[in-house]
Structure 1
Amino acid sequence: MSELLFKAINSVKDSEIAFCKFLSANDTGSTGAHQAGIYIPKNSFSILFDEEGKKGERKENYIDIEWQDDFITKSRFVYYGVGTRNEYRITRFGRGFPFLKDEYLGALFILCKKNKEEYSAYVLETEEEYEGFFSALGMTSVETNKIIESGFNDYELRNRLFNDYLRKIDGNFPVTIDVADKAREFYYAINGHNIRRISEQPDNEIIKWLDIEYELFKSIELYVYSDILKTPFDSVESFIQVANSVLNRRKSRAGKSLEHHLKKVFEYNRLKFTAQAKIEGRKRPDFIFPGEQEYVNAMTNIEIDNLTFLGVKTTCKDRWRQILNEADKIEEKHLFTLQQGISKSQLKEMTDYKVTLVVPKVYHNAYPKEYRNDLLDLKTFIRLVKEKQM
């Protein structure tokens, strides 16, 4: 764990309230908007002001923010409520401020309120730091852009569906696919099982599946580890062993669960595909459409053009290059990700390597405006694959 990540995690835990988001094109100024500054959604106004802003007024507050435990800016918290505007922002960072540049688009911004006069902020740049941060605080990348709710909570255990399931697992941690399947089952029980909704709104559905799955996962953690948490550790080594086990399970679960949910979306949409196909060089691509056998047998240009490759990575700011050597027969690569924003330079590099991102529609505005038309949402990707399979 890097020193900066360690400081960021501890700052969140020691704060009255904390917030995080991935920096978007709107934040970094990549959209060319007149108003510069970090946008804070209305659901998180409490990180800036004691009371919510009222339409028709403008209010502001000047605050010292310590960045990266390194330097301080005298910044402004401002609510714009006059005219057509209705938004909160953090502005005025001073000359030479490093983080509102294109290369930081997609970086994880964390703001911590110690008290009314003390704030600290951190910007994490690597996927390893994202994963470490989310794992330590018991959250996922889809739980950003709002106030952080960290730590173990017992509200999930009061849910009847969760309680029934926890009793059945008998203190053993279920495998990832079982948790993903059970999460969808609970989602259907609460919201109804609407196959048409999965076909017409797959982007929204998969995010909701991930949300309820992580609530279930945290409940399982609390249930399985409750006795361990109540018992003092006899050594630092035993504490580290348990902590590493928890963190590693959290990290490995995220990517696998996303693949499980995508597989279910593709099945509901009646796509032909193979997950983890066995192809050349013992490679195991996440998804090949229409399937492994079609890929292996493809020889002509027409047969190859009918193939589609899809890689899956929860975040891809650095790891997108890993898919370049997968599925050699397919020149254009598709990559599904939950990443909220990537810099222009990286997006240009992806374009040069013929990598097309598939991103839930709700996250498209986090990307630079000039590259948004190059993004696919999940619904559009499914339609394109269907057209090949007709």
Structure 2
Amino acid sequence: MMSANNLVGLAVAAVSRSRYAFCKFTSANDAGSTGAHQAGYYIPKSAWPVMFDCPGQKGENKDRNITIKWQDTFETESRFIYYGRGTRNEYRLTRFGRGFPFLTDDNVGDLFILCQIEPNYYEAYVLSADDDIDSFLGAIGISPTETNGLISMQQITPNPEDLIHQLFQEILVQYDQFPATNMMAQYARECYMRAHHINDEVLQNNPDTSLLAWINTEYDLFKAFENKLYSPEISRGFGNVEALITYSNQILNRRKSRAGKSLEHHLSGIFTANHLRFETQVITEEHKKPDFIFPDGESYHNFEFPADDLIFLGAKTTCKDRWRQILNEADRIPVKHLFTLQQGISKNQLTEMYRENVCLVVPEPYKTFFDPTFRDRILSLKQFTDSVRRIQHIS
């Protein structure tokens, strides 16, 4: 059986040698959990080059047969199809054969990667574990918010916002090493807000889109630092393969460790703009350290403070495996809120989460990736901040 690390490595290698590559989190709609008329991977219109030579034309259907090798182990004779007739206007990848293992309800939230190796020959990989997904995204240089589209292997993603990149250059010249993670996040927020003339009122009204924009901006800034700081060493070359592998692992580990801390820093920025009272890394029972306690640790440890006015929030970029870690982090607070950038989780896992009193919080645009029967129970970031504002009597 292939190890997870080998699978991630094969997926990254396939992307690097592909003509076009695409990735997305498997949604409930893909798996047919929503009761849609046809299961199969939905491909957004922006990713048409991975499927056809030209985009589909409204009023016409078209399809193309291809061969896909999955997980470097087995092949399917599959089909890209564009539905343009009637009210439909969508692309799908279908036909996987009986017993296909990657489109069940339990696969919702997995990362699906599709690489065009030859005109009619593709390689595909499906990653389930959070660590594997983080490793893949780190290796190809994109954040979870940049999935559901074509993959670019450029070191720095081109950005039409020239002012942001001008501000990046002003920051880069000040450093000969990576800034601390909190400073990197702060710089990204400042650059984005200056370029787009964002103020606290905007952050209060649109925290979901603001958070996603900050995360994308910081990842662009981080890759700019990578390009500056790693290029001299890469240009000098490496004496042997082991030295190259060691250096590559250092790069990947820095990417992975930054991502989780980055999310916490940006959430703190949203909460501060909303004038919420909160504290991070409060020490609770058995020396646990929740990501966020509202209003603070002193109130948590004061048993005269009403437990109903205490709020817990964990923050994990992906949580398909990790959500159980938060269950015993704050005994006084029975309902655990969990913010994630995961785009879809299986119905079975959602059922288990809510049975354990875990309430998901996701960016508003990501709600559509979840099973419809759970969407009303999943909070957007604005719904969460509004709830805290009411509890803390903030007008």
- TM-score normalized by the length of structure 2: 0.95
The one-letter code of the counterpart of 1:365 is T
Distance in 2 (alpha carbons) for counterparts of 1:357 and 1:320: 10
Cα distance in structure 2, aligned partners of 1:153 and 1:270: 34
- Give SS of 1:339's match: coil
C-alpha distance after superposition, 1:156-200 (max 9, x if no partner): 79832221211111x211111111111111101211123221111
Q: Which residue of 1 aligns with 2:263?
A: 258
Q: Which position in structure 1 is the counterpart of 2:38? A: 35
Aligned to 1:72, the other structure's residue is in SS state strand
Whole-Å Cα distance in 1 between the matches of residues 372 and 335 of structure 2?
A: 22
**Equivalences for residues 300-311 of structure 1 within 5 A:** 303-311=306-314
Match of 2:232 among 216, 221, 227: 227
> What TM-score results when the alignment is normalised by the length of structure 1?
0.96
Deviations 1:36-87 (A, max 9, x none): 2110001111110110111111111111111111111111101111111111
Distance of 1:51 and 1:194 partners within structure 2: 41
5 Å matches for 1:168-317?
A: 168-169=174-175, 171-299=176-304, 303-317=306-320
Q: Which moved further from structure 2: 228-237 or 102-111?
A: 228-237
Matched, 1:131 2:134: yes
Is the Cα contact below 8 Å between 1:30 and 1:369 reproduced in 2?
Answer: no
Partner of 1:374: helix, strand, or coil? coil
RMSD between aligned alpha carbons? Answer: 1.5
Output the amino acid matched with 1:134: L
Q: SS of the counterpart of 1:261? A: helix
1:148 counterpart residue number: 151
Deviation at 1:236, TM superposition (A): 2.8
SS in structure 1 opposite 2:245? Answer: helix
Alignment-derived partner of residue 336 in structure 2: 333
Cα deviation for residue 238 of structure 1 reads: 2.4
The Cα of 1:240 is off from its aligned counterpart by 2.5
Render the CA deviation track for 1:234-289: whole Å, top value 9, x for unaligned: 23332222212111111110010110000010011011111111223222111001
Deviations 1:189-244 (A, max 9, x none): 21112322111110110000000110000000010111001011123332222212
Q: 63, 66, 70: which is aligned to 2:69? A: 66
3-state SS in 1 of match to 2:190: helix
User: Which of these residues, 162, 172, 183, is aligned with residue 166 of structure 1?
Assistant: 172
Q: 2:363 aligns with which of 343, 360, 364?
A: 360
Tell me the SS of whatever aligns to 1:110: strand
Answer whether contact 1:110 1:121 (CA < 8 A) is retained. yes
Please give the secondary structure, in 2, of the residue aligned with 1:356: strand
One-letter amino acid of the counterpart of residue 369, structure 1? P
Post-superposition CA distance 1:292-321 (Å, at most 9, x none) = 111010347xx0111000000000000000
> Contact (CA 8 Å) 1:154, 1:219: kept in 2 or not?
no
SS in 1 for 2:69: strand
Kept in 2: contact 1:56–1:81 (CA 8 A): yes
Per the TM alignment, residue 151 of structure 1 is displaced from its structure 2 partner at its CA by 4.1
Q: Is the 8 A contact 1:66 1:73 kept in 2?
A: yes
How far off its partner does 1:153 sit?
Answer: 3.7
Per-residue deviation, 1:126: 0.4
